[in-house]
Chain A
Amino acid sequence: MRVRRLDRTSLVAGVVIVITGIILLLDRLDAIDLRFGYGLPLLIATLGAILLAAGLEGPPDRD
């Protein structure tokens, strides 16, 4: 039986998107005040983490 391996890119992307989404949700609910000073680094770090994970892992397995 073929066992599908863990796709780390999806995992990393999911984690950083959940974290960023929660921060944005808190801002929209006025629990925090997101400013450009740390909002833009957050977005760039999100994108960078996904690209880094994809680059380190390589292309996904194709059946």
Chain B
Amino acid sequence: MTEDTTPQTPENPAPEPEPEPRRLTRSGSDAVIGGVASGLGRYFGVDPILFRIGFVVLAFVGAAGVVAYLALLVFVPSDGEPRPAGTGSRAIAVGGTIVLGCVLVTFLSPPLFFFGPGLLVVALVGLAGYLLWRALGGRADGDPARTVGRIVVAALIGVAALGAALGVGLAAALGGGVVIASLAVVAGLALIGTAFVGGARWLIVPALVLVLPLGVVSAAGIEFDGGVGDREYRPATMSQVRDQYDLGAGSMVVDLRDIDLPQGRTDLNVDVGLGEAVVYVPSGACITSDVQVGAGASDILDRENNGVDVDDVNAGTPPTGRPELHIDADIGLGVVEVVREGHLRDQFDGNQFNRFGDRVEVDDDEGTLCA
């Protein structure tokens, strides 16, 4: 008789425990404030810093981030894990003291700009830089001194990046956009190439310093090829009227009230990169316009538009016997205003004033564009 050596299978094997349903809980061990972002990150399997950045960004959108955070803080239960002693709480205490100190110094209105709004800007840039560093893979530890040191370094790097971004924006507005865009493409290709050998994430920040300001300058259409400062042109005769008036940054006034426009159409091109353009048009002329403002406002004979990508096109046909002045204005960031006979509409109460500050009545027919 042979012995059966096959393992015996129990007739009633113990049932495997069912996996617990995944629950959204706040993290007690990785909490900065209430562990909401850590809990969300753990639940969705992503870095909690993404949710932290999201809450901060949404805090500036009608305080939606604050409301959402408080709601989650109230309704989402904690996982019960204790917060490690001497880590987050000390870091928060030190960081909070620094931020409150910056706010206090700012509200004391010190004489130097750096110790006023500048200090707050540096603190915010440092905080943003630290969050970006965490988002790009930087590791935090529980040592508050090292955390504060990293924030200070991030602030210095952030200020340097901000200065570099302003320089890049200026260079782009001065006509270097092609070179900057080409450098950004090269940086992107270098990032792709190095990604297969471990990556070079440090290249991301300089690439963004190239791309972001160039994008803003390109979207606004800012060009500084006309110089910087205040310009006032008051031609006395038609022969002195130029086809084109350019200004890079500043305020420009083109006063055509003394001009007798010839019959037919007269073209006037006005380009301002950053600032204000005011065109005084002669009475009796029929005004047509093609105005583009990247971001700002246009006020064409009291027809007002504002916002981003402002387009104001009026292509009427002048009545017989009236000269036509066609204004083609391109403003990057700023305001363009077309005024007849020097009557400026007050921006607060809508009353009309002449150059000497006296309130005047304007014939509505004079303010109309071409029919």
- Bound-state CA distance A9–B198 (Å) is 10
Pick from B187, B203, B218: contact of A28, CB below 8 A. Answer: B218
Are A17 and B220 in contact (CB-based, < 8 A)? no
- Bound-state CA distance A21–B207 (Å) is 9
Known contacts A10-B194, A36-B294: does B219 contact A25 (CB below 8 Å)?
Answer: no
Q: Which residues of A contact B219 (CB under 8 A)?
A: 34-36, 39-40
Are B137 and A6 in contact (CB-based, < 8 A)? no
- Bound-state CA distance A22–B199 (Å) is 22
Are A17 and B211 in contact (CB-based, < 8 A)? yes
Chain A CB count within 10 A is highest, among B50, B180, B184, B188, for B188
Known contacts A36-B219, A60-B137: does B182 contact A25 (CB below 8 Å)?
Answer: yes
What string of 1s and 0s marks CB contacts (under 8 Å) between B190-234 and chain A? 111111111111011001101110111011100000000000000
Q: Which residue of A lies closest to B193 (CB)?
A: A14
Pick from A13, A21, A28, A52: contact of B204, CB below 8 A. Answer: A13
Are A4 and B295 in contact (CB-based, < 8 A)? no
Majority SS of interface residues in chain A? helix
Known contacts A7-B198, A10-B199, A21-B181: does B135 contact A36 (CB below 8 Å)?
Answer: no
Interface residues of A in 1-58 (CB under 8 A from B): 4-11, 13-22, 24-25, 27-29, 34-37, 39-40, 42-43, 46-47, 50-52, 54-58
Are A17 and B184 in contact (CB-based, < 8 A)? yes
**Taking the complex as formed, is B177 at the interface, i.e. its CB lies under 8 A from any CB of chain A?**
yes
Tally of contact residues, B, Cβ under 8 A:
51
- Bound-state CA distance A46–B139 (Å) is 23
Are A4 and B211 in contact (CB-based, < 8 A)? no
Are A10 and B309 in contact (CB-based, < 8 A)? no
Are B50 and A55 in contact (CB-based, < 8 A)? yes
Known contacts A25-B178, A35-B294: does B184 contact A54 (CB below 8 Å)?
Answer: no
- Shortest B93–chain A CB gap in Å is 26
Are B185 and A60 in contact (CB-based, < 8 A)? no
**Taking the complex as formed, is B152 at the interface, i.e. its CB lies under 8 A from any CB of chain A?**
no
Are A17 and B136 in contact (CB-based, < 8 A)? no
Are A59 and B182 in contact (CB-based, < 8 A)? no
Are A60 and B199 in contact (CB-based, < 8 A)? yes
Pick from B188, B198, B308: contact of A60, CB below 8 A. Answer: B198
Chain A CB count within 10 A is highest, among B182, B215, B295, for B215
Are B185 and A7 in contact (CB-based, < 8 A)? no
- Bound-state CA distance A47–B185 (Å) is 15
- Shortest B300–chain A CB gap in Å is 19
Q: Which residues of B contact A19 (CB under 8 A)?
A: 188
**Taking the complex as formed, is B49 at the interface, i.e. its CB lies under 8 A from any CB of chain A?**
yes
Pick from B46, B132, B185, B309: contact of A56, CB below 8 A. Answer: B46
Interface residues of B in 45-92 (CB under 8 A from A): 46-47, 49-50, 53
Q: Which residues of A contact B190 (CB under 8 A)?
A: 14
Q: Which residues of A contact B294 (CB under 8 A)?
A: 35-36
- Bound-state CA distance A55–B241 (Å) is 58
Are B207 and A13 in contact (CB-based, < 8 A)? yes
Q: Which residues of A contact B188 (CB under 8 A)?
A: 13-21
Pick from B178, B195, B201: contact of A29, CB below 8 A. Answer: B178
Q: Which residues of A contact B185 (CB under 8 A)?
A: 17-18, 21-22, 25
Are A51 and B50 in contact (CB-based, < 8 A)? yes
Pick from A29, A54, A60: contact of B135, CB below 8 A. Answer: A54
- Bound-state CA distance A6–B198 (Å) is 6
For this complex, 14 residue pairs linking A to B, each with C-beta atoms less than 8 Å apart, are A4-B197, A17-B188, A21-B187, A24-B215, A35-B308, A35-B309, A39-B215, A39-B218, A39-B219, A47-B212, A52-B50, A54-B47, A58-B47, A59-B139
